[in-house]
Structure 1
């Protein structure tokens, strides 16, 4: 069964997203690059949750990846990708959602639980603190990638231009 896209966040009157939506998006971006073990460790550090209700069973499906030639040309179907989604509800009523590339249902469920916990104002700082090691790892990986790219960068310039 194909996976339906997540609804777009509510924009601000000027068309941008709210600071809360941007912060939630950043937290979920950290979850998307985390391993299942990292998500489990973050969740374990938050203490007991109580029963978590599944809004729909965690499922795996395919989505079509689209591309553009040169980044701005006509779009084309690049191919299908496997995606797993989870939707849960906490006992207090917050609903959490997560989509992940691949087939790891446990990882998607853990990310959905963290998403729901993040939405609780009294848990938000604790969730962000639990995700801080992921942010540190992600920043270190980005820095290492930038160093690898900078090592192969070639700067072309002309010192003097001759007249023919």
Structure 2
């Protein structure tokens, strides 16, 4: 006789593994976006430091000054957007059952009761939404940084011409 490969126990085990994989993947995406944001913050900060060191002593013509100003504004926007990426996204403790924010206000008995509930699906959805929002902000920060670099490159070429 052939074993039933779609038994309820096998289906439950498969679902358990899929839930664990999905939650781990969502958490990894949040971490990846935070890492990218850290790199973006370093790049934008470096650009800002160079600008602070060079621009005050430079004698800039009208068009070059406008381009440098545009580059500075775009770079500052990229820094602000990047900071929004790394800002906490967990929400209010009372709305985050199954999280450390919620657990901080529980008694030991309430914590045991809370841990008994499987919230992986809810947590995976919440993490996925956080990751998606962070991803969008990282993309915007990259776009702003590229635009700032382009404006500053054009300003440099114009100043040297």
TM-score by length of 2: 0.31
More strand by share: 1
| Structure of higher RCO (CA pairs closer than 8 Å, 6+ residues apart) | 2
